[in-house]
């Protein structure tokens, strides 16, 4: 099992550009999450999904969009990049939400918007 994989590892964008951060998990988990981590701050939930075709906003969703067409994939879309979106982005997945199962995290994507 590869677990949770994310691409790319690093990316530099210009203001106003768009991009998609890819996330794939091979554990057949229903629940998937996108977080951002800024220096000295805790992880903040951007969006989450409870299954294919079902997504919802987290704590900081503005400027982002998601889709979930398959169980395995949960891409995060930035439409008009802004310097405030410079951050490290982590995707995570878990098998159940009602129980207290751990979330498995990917290695992260470091994004810089100039």
Of residues 62 and 100, the one with the C-beta less far from other proteins? 100
Kindly state the smallest distance separating residue 80's Cβ from other proteins, in Å.
27
Contacts (Cβ under 8 Å, ≥6 apart) of 64: 34, 46, 47, 76, 77, 78
Asked if residue 4 binds other proteins (CB under 8 A), the reply is yes
Asked if residue 28 binds other proteins (CB under 8 A), the reply is no
Asked if residue 44 binds other proteins (CB under 8 A), the reply is yes
Cα–Cα dist 8/76, whole Å: 12
43 C-beta neighbours (distance < 10 Å), count: 17
Binding footprint of other proteins, residue count (CB under 8 A): 26
């Amino acid at each position: 099992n590869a677990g949770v994989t994310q691409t790319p590892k690093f990316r530099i964008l210009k203001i106003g550009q768009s991009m998609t951060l890819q996330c794939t998990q091979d554990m057949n988990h229903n629940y998937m999450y996108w977080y951002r981590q800024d220096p000295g701050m805790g992880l903040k939930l951007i969006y989450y999904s409870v299954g294919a075709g079902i997504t919802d906003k987290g704590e900081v969703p503005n400027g982002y969009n998601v889709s979930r067409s398959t169980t395995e994939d949960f891409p995060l879309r930035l439409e008009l990049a802004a310097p405030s979106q410079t951050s490290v982005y982590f995707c995570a997945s878990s098998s159940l939400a009602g129980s207290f199962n751990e979330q498995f995290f990917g290695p992260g994507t470091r994004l810089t918007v100039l």
